[in-house]
Amino acid sequence: MRSVALLVRKDGRLLRRSPALLAALIVYPIVIAVLVGLVVRFAGEQPRVALVDLDGIPPIVEIGGQEFDVDQIIGQTIEDIELVRLDADAAERALKAGDVLATITIPEGFVRALRGMLRSPQLRLDFNSDVLGTRILNKVQALVFSLNRQLAETYIAANLEYVDLLTVGGSGSFAGSSFDVIGLEEAGRRLRALGEANPDLRPEFDELATFVDEAGLALAAVEDSLRATAHPIELVEAGTSGRDALLSALVQAFGLALTIAFISVLLAAGSLASERDENVLGRLLRGLVRPTELLASKVILVAILAALVALILAIALGVLVELNGVASEHPWERLPLLVLGFLVAGASFACFGTLVGTRTRDARTATLVALLIALPLMLVGLVPTESVGGVGIVSDLFPFSHSVDFFDAALADADPTRAVLRSTAWLVGLGLVYGTAARLGMRRLLA
């Protein structure tokens, strides 16, 4: 352990004397992390919107004698948005975590109000007021417009039945009350009959009959007027303080994992190969240091450095979240768990890096090879496992996707224990496999 500490101290000193390398190792992965995180978050999937149905709307709703297929109407209107049905609490958490971009809430009594036609029922839209949130607002406005148009047709048809009832007479019901009306045509006939029966009052009866006729003509034109209006649903828009797209838990997890992966793999590979570059490997391994100690020193230093950089990044993102006014459920108390994840992930990536280091002849080749190998493996980790066959297996064999799972769970899950334990087991297991392979490969370094 003393030898490991001495080697770590020496490597730390060497790193401090290479500020350009250190700066590149820190800045480059962060920039890549942000870019890739954004691409992953929004290019590879439809924006997710939560649908909270507090009214328990059935799949088919009957209004004004016409049936509406709710899912079909929504699907036709917002094809490029993934609508996720959630309960109110889950939707609130998902919106705050940035896992959904908006929440549409259907309140209790919505369908009853629609059927009653006495007042406009309300839909509530909660969204993050960034560019993507505005895009969602536009989509939902389009949805409401479409619903309004279809409902208006139904309402107009229902209202025209009343108009017809007023004109020709008959039995009907409104707001649950039944009634019988004689109709304007019959009223006109009766008024004229009364005028003929009462010559003294005929002018008055004729005047009333004329009014009734004109009213009938006016009602005949009401259909066009009804179709020209109709906005039965009112959309109440309310901005929220959830994470915006840039600060979503998933994007943060990608950013942190990418940062750690780049730093750890490149630095571990380059650092081990540089011992060979400096020609000191033979001197060290002839009894001063055991090969396992040399590998351990690289893994420890790299894991600590990667964790430090990731911690700075996580704190910066946390401050941004706070400045954004996000009421996060786990603002800072998850930081220790994250740091643990940084160390475990850093060590796992570093073991992979040392394996690369044992297979290359000098530090420059090692870092180039590490980059060439690690980059596609990281990108594989970003591909949805269900989209391409075999991707999941390849992704599982590299620490990246497990690191993302760990960080995402630590940042957003209500209870991250299970996900964290599973990811940790993967990271430790992969680290042991890569570390063992690197240890076996150490012989080659002296050849």
Q: What is the DSSP letter of 49?
A: E
Q: Give, in degrees to the nearest 5, the angle at Cα 272 between 381 and 423.
A: 30
* Site membership for another protein, residue 10 (CB under 8 A): yes
CB of 280 to another protein, least distance (A): 5
By CB under 8 A, residue 385 contacts another protein: no
Nearest residue (CB) to another protein, 112 versus 283: 283
d(CA 7, CA 2): 9
Interstrand relation of 60-63 and 122-128 (parallel, antiparallel or unpaired)? unpaired
Closer residue to another protein in complex, CB, 20/118: 20
By beta-carbon proximity to another protein, the closer residue of 288 and 421 is 288
Please classify residue 87 by burial: count the beta carbons closer than 10 Å to its beta carbon, then call 0-12 exposed, 13-18 middle and 19+ buried.
exposed
Ramachandran class of 407: left when φ > 0, alpha when ψ lies in -120 to 50, beta otherwise: alpha
Range 270-309, binding another protein (CB under 8 A): 278-280, 282-289
Shortest Cβ 284–another protein spacing (Å) = 7
CA distance 38 to 33: 8
Residue 101 vs 285, nearer CB to another protein: 285
Query: At closest approach, how far in Å is the CB of 51 from another protein?
Result: 60
Min dist. Cβ of residue 9 to another protein (A): 8
Residue 1 interacting with another protein (CB under 8 A) = no
SS3 state of residue 258? helix
Cβ atoms within 10 A of the Cβ of 186, count?
A: 15
Matching residue, tokens 């047709």: 153
Cα atoms in the Cβ-side hemisphere of radius 13 Å centred on 14: 16
Site residues for another protein, 12-71, by CB under 8 A, read: 13-14, 17-18
What minimum distance in Å lies between the beta carbon of 446 and another protein? 6
Provide the minimum distance between the beta carbon of 2 and another protein in the complex, in angstroms, as a whole number. 8
- For another protein (CB under 8 A), the number of binding residues is 20
> Using CA atoms, how far apart are residues 227 and 230, in angstroms rounded to an integer?
7
Q: Is the CB of 14 or the CB of 160 nearer to another protein?
A: 14
For the bound state, the minimum distance from the C-beta of residue 25 to another protein, rounded and expressed in Å, comes to: 16
Q: Considering the rule CB under 8 A, would residue 312 count as an interface residue with another protein?
A: no
Could you give the string, one character per residue 93-132, with x where binding to another protein holds by CB under 8 A and - elsewhere? ----------------------------------------
Residue 447 makes contact with another protein by CB under 8 A? yes
Q: Does 180 bind another protein (CB under 8 A)?
A: no
Residues in Cβ contact with 39 at an 8 Å cutoff, skipping those fewer than 6 apart? none
CA pair distance 95, 240, nearest whole angstrom: 9
User: Rg for the chain (alpha carbons), in Å?
Assistant: 35
Q: Is 362 in the site for another protein (CB under 8 A)?
A: no
**What Å distances lie between residue 81 and 41, 42, 100, 140, 216, CA to CA?**
14, 11, 10, 10, 48
Select from 342, 314, 349 the least CA-distant residue to 406.
Answer: 342
Cβ 339 to another protein, closest distance in Å? Answer: 30
Q: Measured from the CB of residue 28, what is the shortest distance to another protein in angstroms?
A: 21
Taking the least distance from each CB to another protein, the nearer of 18 and 76 is 18
Torsion 234-238-243-244 (CA) sign:
positive
Residues that bind another protein (CB under 8 A): 3, 6, 10, 13-14, 17-18, 278-280, 282-289, 446-447
